[in-house]
Amino acid sequence: MSLSTHVLDSGTGHPAEGVGVSLYRGDRLVAAGVTDHDGRLRDWLPDGEPGKGVHRLVFDTGAYFARCGTAGFYPEVVVTFVIDDPAEHYHVPLLLSPFAYSTYRGS
């Protein structure tokens, strides 16, 4: 069972360090962390998580862009996804710019 994310600032072409990320299952906060110097968040979940079901990753993009001195349009990005098999690894990357974002299921 594992879940990771990687945030890349496509406006600068660099990893997005210091982005706050929260994981929810339903309304319950499961875990929270901050992306490292490489824009990654790994090994951040409590044992047994993520479980099967619908989850949301909430990225605090507003605070990130404020620290960068950049005006952004999205104060947060919410990515909702389903975990069917908790035994698999799930990777949910975020490509971010001040006025757009994209995500996909990675490996």
What's the CATH code of the domain at 33? 2.60.40.180
Give the model confidence (pLDDT) of 26-67 as tens digits: 999 999 999 999 999 988 888 888 889 999 999 999 999 999
Percentage of the chain with pLDDT > 70? 99
Q: Report the pLDDT averaged over residues 86-90.
A: 89
Q: Show the domain range for 43.
A: 2-103
Residue 1 pLDDT greater than 80, yes or no: no
Number of domains in the chain: 1
Per-residue H/E/C for 13-78:
CEECCCCEEEEEECCEEEEEEECCCCCEECCCCCCCCCCCEEEEEEECHHHHHHHHCCCCCCCCEE
Whole-number pLDDT of residue 105 = 94
Whole-number pLDDT of residue 16 = 98
